[in-house]
Amino acid sequence: MQRIGTAGWSVPKGADVEGTHLQRYSRTLRCTEINSTFYRVHRASTFVRWSAETPADFRFSIKAPKTLTHEAKLLDPEPLLEGFLQQIAPLQGKMGPLLFQLPPSLHFQPAIAEEFLAVFRRLYSGEGVLEPRHESWFTPQVDQLLKEYAMARVAADPAKGAPQAAEPGGYSGFVYHRLHGSPQTYYSEYAEDFLAKLARKIKAHENVWIIFDNTALSHAYPNALRLQQLTGEI
């Protein structure tokens, strides 16, 4: 199954003016990535409303809070993970992968990484995906550790930390692409040849998410729609 969407759900009105931004968005794309959870805690009623505004087969991926990834740097993860999971619980059956984006300065420390992964798997059985951005995370040792805990590694564009960051890693049963815009991060539009090549690549995977994060100049939504069209043509 391919799920194609954007970071957030800003969408031009066009001919469809009925409903909220999320309602209009979810009539055309089947998933979205919630980034605001990285910055702040949300009320339960917010998640309940988002769930109610979307179709039954729509899914949300959710970015973990910076208190865990950037401030605590994965240390003593249990209370922060428990709080995060309690916060997002109202999404219930609409939950997709949980995304953990690490700061570029955070290098791999085996004991800390394994404790984090073990606690995460004890508390949560769903899909998880890690986006490390320091070169020390891109080794066979780390890849094997991620596989042991069924944690996927983001395929990022542009690649950060190491060239291997451009390709998915870790758990192979699930693939997650984050397309931030290249050459100018968050600003650049993806060209037709890039999207066509990506469409052919993702058809080889049974479970894949593609999230466009080139939102600064509103390129993410049309890029996502075009990729969705291309995957249907292959």
Query: Which residues neighbour 19 within 8 Å (Cβ) at sequence distance 6 or greater?
Result: 53
Give ∠ CA 216-69-97 in degrees, rounded to 5.
70
Q: How far apart are CA 50 and CA 31, in angstroms?
A: 12
- pLDDT per residue, tens digit, the chain (234 aa), is 899 999 999 887 665 678 899 999 999 999 999 999 999 999 999 999 999 999 999 999 999 999 999 999 999 999 999 999 999 999 989 999 999 999 999 999 999 999 999 999 999 999 999 999 999 999 999 999 999 999 999 999 999 999 999 999 999 999 999 999 999 999 999 999 999 999 999 988 889 999 999 999 999 999 999 999 999 865
Q: How far apart are CA 220 and CA 215, in angstroms?
A: 5
Strand bridging mode 128-131 / 59-63: unpaired
Q: How far apart are CA 166 and CA 197, in angstroms?
A: 14
Question: What is the enclosing helix (H) or strand (E) of 176?
Answer: strand 175-179
In 9-138, DSSP assigns E strands to: 31-34, 59-63, 95-101, 128-131
Strand bridging mode 151-153 / 169-170: antiparallel
State how far the alpha carbon of 148 is from the alpha carbons of 12, 64, 106, 121, in Å: 42, 21, 21, 10
Q: How far apart are CA 157 and CA 167, in angstroms?
A: 9
Check residue 15 and give its pLDDT: 56
Q: How far apart are CA 69 and CA 61, in angstroms?
A: 16
CATH code for residues 2-233: 3.20.20.410
